[in-house]
Amino acid sequence: MAQGGAVVDVVGAVDLPMPTLAPATLGAGSAYAPKPARYLLNWGRKYSLWVFNFGLACCAIEFIATSMSRHDFIRLGVIPFAPGPRQADLMVVSGTVTDKMAPAIKRLYDQMPEPKYVISFGSCANSGGPYWDSYCVTKGVDQIIPVDVYVPGCPPRPEALLNGIVTLQDKIAGENLADRYQRPATSLLSPRIGAPE
């Protein structure tokens, strides 16, 4: 330390579980990354989720309550408000999804970088909710984009969203990205790459 510099003391260290390399926590084998490297990558993605909230109704208020100090999902490694879909890892769809809103949801989902995750939050986003029989209501956001976790309730409690986030983090921890994206084997690639037609 330089002479006259300030003394810095580390206070309030983050209480995250230490990575263990037990075979049960590594997930399925992967040809693309060694098990410890894949485990560390998944651990990093698990605790650094940037959330893009697509809030449409009263469930969005519960999402805001979950991000406040009483429930504080930042302690789980979730950053509540990404600047936009291009910086987000997780989209939380909450509220009634109408047929007119469906193309916007699909477009925003397509703008998210891979790997991307979706939580369907509340009865309206899960199945249409009390408006399910309306001519203009989509009967669940899973008809538009793939959903990883469903959080039931009308509106769900903030604790239910926290449980959904922990469920998603457990899914990410055991994930194998090669299996998720079904990359073709090199033997399936066309042998005519670079050949004139």
| pLDDT tens sequence across 51-94 | 888 877 787 888 777 777 777 777 777 777 778 888 888 899 98
Q: What pLDDT is stored for residue 156 in this prediction?
A: 86
Q: What pLDDT is stored for residue 33 in this prediction?
A: 54
Confidence of residue 29 (pLDDT cuts 50, 70, 90): very low
In the predicted model, what is the mean pLDDT of residues 99-107?
Answer: 90
| 158-175 residue pLDDT tens | 888 888 888 988 888 887
For the domain bounded by 32-175, which CATH number is listed?
A: 3.40.50.12280
d(CA 127, CA 147): 12
pTM reported for the whole predicted model: 0.69
In the predicted model, what is the mean pLDDT of residues 120-126?
Answer: 88
d(CA 63, CA 95): 11
Q: What percent of the chain has pLDDT over 90?
A: 7
Among 31-45, 52-66, 79-93, 119-133, where is mean pLDDT lowest? 31-45
Q: What pLDDT is stored for residue 195 in this prediction?
A: 44
> Could you please report the per-residue DSSP string of 100-133?
TTHHHHHHHHHHSPSS-EEEEESHHHHH-GGGTT
The answer to whether the beta carbons of residues 155 and 95 sit under 8 Å apart is no
